[in-house]
Amino acid sequence: MKPYDWMVTYTPQTDWIKGGGAIVWLSFFTGLFGSGAYLASLYFDSLTGMIVSWLIVAVLKGGLHVGHAKRPLRLWRMVLKVRTSWIARGTVFTALFALFGAVQIILSHEAAATPGEIVFKVLTAIFALPSWSTRASPSTMFRAFPSGTPRCSRPP
């Protein structure tokens, strides 16, 4: 056996997650569910739906991610590495969704059908699209179902 004959297949680690798998799974699930629900609410013009889906993403997803990080007070550093890290990009996208979504919900309640509301609806919808999680999130998700584990790919 030559060194290059060894480790020729992917050997995923299983112990890294150490019981925290449910948190990670739930945070991604709530993120995808919440953003999808937000887009649906936008389509049906349901303010209640927008508020609930915003809460799901901003509070549940955000909270679960913070819960997974073992040093949450350092999470602000994630804005520094958006160039190469998909987690950092996801954090920024989620934060922007929460920010624009909050403004849009207030505008929808207080000043419906104004140009400002439309602009923020578009902005929030952009960041609600769940395509941020990897460079090909939808395809990754579908690919993940048969094997049960999404493959960690090298960022571009």
Residues near another protein (CB under 8 A): 1-4, 6-8, 10-13, 16-18, 68-72, 74-75, 77-78, 80-81, 84-88, 91, 152, 154-155
**Which residue, 112 or 152, has its beta carbon nearer to another protein?**
152
Whether 80 and 88 have beta carbons less than 8 Å apart is answered as yes
User: Going by C-beta distance under 8 Å and a sequence separation of 6 or more, which residues neighbour residue 94?
Assistant: 31, 57, 58, 61, 62, 65, 127, 132
Q: What distances in angstroms separate CA 65 from CA 31, 59, 87, 117, one per listed residue?
A: 10, 10, 10, 29
Q: What is the smallest separation between the CB atom of 90 and another protein, expressed in angstroms?
A: 8
Burial class (CB in 10 A: 0-12, 13-18, 19+), 94: buried
**CB 140 to another protein: min, Å:** 14
Q: Whole-number minimum distance, CB 125 to another protein, in Å? A: 25
Least Cβ distance, residue 8 to another protein (angstroms): 7
Q: 30 vs 91, which CB is nearer to another protein?
A: 91
Closest contact distance (angstroms) between CB of 91 and another protein is 7
Listing DSSP states for 66-113 in one string gives HHH-SSGGGGGGGGGGTTT-HHHHHHHHHHHHHHHHHHHHHHHHHSTT
Query: For residues 2 and 44, which CB has a smaller minimum distance to another protein in the complex?
Result: 2
